[in-house]
């Protein structure tokens, strides 16, 4: 199944080995899923800097780094293995995410 990735808050990664990013994954069937991609180094940093003795995030994906090519690779594997509904949360469809437009799947720009 084809998909496109949207970065809801933009792609502003300074250190791709120590950061995290929210992603919306738009499938060709118009379903939209949400996840946050972390690196292990970022999780360690957040634990060291935080007040809690644990770390937990719903819809968490851990990747080697969060460069655009690595993000594309990770999401490709998840979609290909048909795991997206188990790993990510379905947040609606294209019409829910872009309610004031008549945008179609083909109109969505990938990796922005």
Per-residue pLDDT of 37-93, as tens digits, reads 999 999 999 999 999 999 999 999 999 999 999 999 999 999 999 999 999 999 999
Indicate the pTM of the whole model. 0.94
Question: What separation, in Å, do the N-terminal and C-terminal C-alpha atoms of the chain show?
Answer: 20
**For the chain, domain boundaries:** 3-107
User: What φ, ψ does residue 27 adopt, rounded to 5°?
Assistant: -90, 160
């Amino acid at each position: 199944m084809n998909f496109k990735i949207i970065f809801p808050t933009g792609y502003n990664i300074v250190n791709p080995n120590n950061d995290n990013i929210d992603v919306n994954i738009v499938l060709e069937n118009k379903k939209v899923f949400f996840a946050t991609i972390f690196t292990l180094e970022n999780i360690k940093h957040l634990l060291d800097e935080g007040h809690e003795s644990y770390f937990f995030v719903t819809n968490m994906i851990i990747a080697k780094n969060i460069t655009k090519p690595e993000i594309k690779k990770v999401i490709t594997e998840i979609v290909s293995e048909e795991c997206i509904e188990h790993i990510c949360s379905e947040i609606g469809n294209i019409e829910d995410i872009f309610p004031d437009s008549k945008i179609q799947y083909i109109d969505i720009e990938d990796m922005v």
